[in-house]
Amino acid sequence: MKQQPEAHEFTAPLLVVDDDLYLLVAIKQTLTLAGYHVDTFHEPKKALAAISKNSYSAVIADIKMPKMDGIELFRHIQELDTELPVILITGHGDVAMAVSAMKEGAYDFLQKPVDEDILIASIERAVEKRRLVIANRNLNDRLKKQRKGYHFHGLVGGHPLMQRLYELIEAVAEESYPVMIYGETGTGKELVARAIHDAGKRYGRPFIAVNMAAIPVDMIESELFGHARGAFTGAIQQKQGKFEYAEDGTIFLDEICSMPIALQSKLLRVLEEKSVTPLGSNSSIPIRARVITATNKDLEQEIRQGTFRQDLYFRLNVLPIKTPPLRERKEDIPLLVERFWLGYCHDRQLKVEPFSAEVIEQMKLQDWPGNIRELQNQVRRTCIFGAQENANNKPLASDIIKRSLEQQTLLKTVLEQIEKEYITEVLIKNKGLIPPTHQQLGISRKSLYDKINKYDINLEILRK
C-alpha cells in the first residue's frame, strides 16, 4: 500500500483560484497528495472574501480569468495582506504580465502546462516564507503584551521565576537588613541589587557598587573604610571610604567571597557596630548605608574550606535571594534580545534591522553558560557582523535552510539531466515514436509529451 504523505500541520490552507475547473481539480489533487489542505475557488471575488476571513499560507491564481484577472486579484490581495505569497499561473503570452506582477510583489509565476514538481517546490518555498512572516508577527505580538508587565526596575523577564524574583525584591526593598544575592556569573546580580535599592525608600540616594575581585588586596581596606592622611606611604590626604560615601543609600559588595579573610573580621565589626574607623584614624564614623552582597560561589563550601568566616556569613545572609540562570527562563530571550538591540541602536545612533523570529528561535536552542551577559554580547556581535554570525560561529537556521535548498536544487538538476538523457536514448532506439517509448519507460503518453516539452527534445531530429 502506498504510504500517505505527512500533512503539513504547521501551515494554514492553500488557496487556488482558476476559472478552468479541470485545472483547478488537477492542482488541488496534486497539492493534497503532497500533504496540503487546499481551498479552491473558480470566482476571484469569492476567493477574496475567503482571504479576508481566513488565514492562508499561499495563493495560486491563474492570470487569464473573466471579470477579474489574476493581476487584479493579486493587487486586491496586496491590499488585504502584503506578505501573503501569491503564485501566478501563466500562458506563454502572459509571461511579461507575470514578471511585471513579481516586481510589484508577486511571489512566483509558473507557466502552463504546470509541472507538478516545480509547483510543489514553489509552494514549499512560499509556505516557508509565510511561516517565518507569521512567526515574526506572533513574536511582535508577544513582545507588545510582555512589555506591559515584564519590566521591573531595569530587570526584564516574564517567566514565573522572574515574577517570583520581583516579588522577593519588593518584599525586601523596604527593609534595612543585609541582602545576599546568589547566582551564576552573568545572571544580573548587580541589576537585582539596584532594583532593591530603587524599589525601596532609598531610591534617589547613593548606590555604590564595589567589585571586590577587582580591587588590589592591599587597597581593599582603604577603598571600603577610607584612610587618614599619612596612614601609609602615598596617603598625602584623607580619603573617604565607600561605606561613608554611600551615606544613607546602599553599598553593594559584589563577589564578596573574594574578600581576604583577614579583612572579613573588620567588615563584621562594621556591620555589628554600624560604624567604620578609617585606616590610620582613631575616630569612628557612623554608617547608615544598607549592605547588599553577591556571590557566584557556594559560601557554605567556602566556610568548610576556611576561606570565609561563618559569623560574617550569618551576618550577611539575612535575606537571601537567588537569580535564575538564563537556561531556566529561555522564554524571556525575545524580550532580552529586544532590550539589547534597542540599547545598541541607541548607543551607536544606528538603525539595525530587528532580529527575526528564526534567529531568536536559534538563540533559544543554546545553553548560555554565560547567561544574560553572554546573550548581550551575542546580540552586539549580531548587530555588528550580521545574523549569519553567532557566538559559536555556527550557521543559523536560515543559513542551514538556504544550504539545504541549494543542495536539493543541485540534486534535482543532476537527476533531471540523467532523466533527459535516458528518455532521449529510448526515443532514439524507437526512432522518435511515442507508443513504444512510453510503454518502455512505463509512463503515460501525456507524461512523456510533458517531459519532451520540459527538456526541449526535438522529435523531428530523432525521427530522421
Cis check: omega of the bond before 260, within 30 degrees of 0: no
Q: In the prediction, which pLDDT does 403 show?
A: 53
| Closest residue by Cα to residue 62 from 112, 28, 12 | 112
Give the span between the Cα atoms of 51 and 49, in whole angstroms: 5
Identify the three-state secondary structure at position 294.
strand
Q: In the prediction, which pLDDT does 345 show?
A: 85
Strand partners, 111: 90
Identify the three-state secondary structure at position 85.
coil
Q: For 286, phi and psi rounded to 5 degrees?
A: -65, 145
Which amino acid belongs to residue 97? M
Strand partners, 64: none
Give the span between the Cα atoms of 63 and 60, in whole angstroms: 10
Identify the three-state secondary structure at position 56.
coil
User: What Å distances lie between residue 246 and 53, 189, 194, 343, 426, CA to CA?
Assistant: 62, 19, 13, 28, 92
Q: In the prediction, which pLDDT does 145 show?
A: 53
Residue keyed to cell 543542495: 407
Q: How many CB atoms lie under 10 A from the CB of residue 389?
A: 15
Q: For 259, phi and psi rounded to 5 degrees?
A: -70, 125
CA atoms within 13 A on the CB side of 444: 3
% helix, strand, coil for the chain, step of 5? 55, 10, 35
Contacts of residue 240, Cβ cutoff 8 Å, sequence gap at least 6:
226
For the chain, domains (ranges, CATH) are 14-140 (3.40.50.2300), 152-324 (3.40.50.300), 328-385 (1.10.8.60), 404-462 (1.10.10)
Digitized pLDDT (tens) for each residue of the chain, 464 residues in all: 334 445 554 567 999 999 888 889 999 999 999 889 999 998 899 999 999 988 899 999 998 888 888 889 999 998 998 889 999 988 877 778 888 888 888 898 888 888 888 999 999 999 988 888 887 777 666 655 544 557 888 899 888 899 899 989 989 998 999 999 999 999 999 999 999 999 888 988 999 999 999 998 888 988 999 888 887 777 788 888 999 999 999 999 999 999 999 899 999 999 999 999 888 888 889 999 999 999 999 999 999 999 999 999 999 999 999 999 999 999 999 989 988 988 888 888 888 888 888 888 889 988 899 999 999 999 998 888 876 554 444 444 444 445 555 656 666 777 788 888 888 888 888 888 888 888 888 788 888 888 888 888 887 777 76
Give the span between the Cα atoms of 268 and 429, in whole angstroms: 100
Element (H or E) spanning 402, and its range? helix 397-429
Element (H or E) spanning 336, and its range? helix 333-348
Element (H or E) spanning 40, and its range? strand 38-41
Instruction: Cell numbers for 1, please give them.
Output: 500500500
Q: How many CB atoms lie under 10 A from the CB of residue 50?
A: 16
Between the two ends of the chain, the Cα-to-Cα distance in Å is: 44
- Residue by residue, DSSP assigns 189-245 as HHHHHHHHHHHSTTTTS-EEEEEGGGS-GGGHHHHHH-B-TTSSTT--S-B--HHHH
Q: Is the dihedral of CA 177, 182, 188, 189 positive or negative?
A: positive
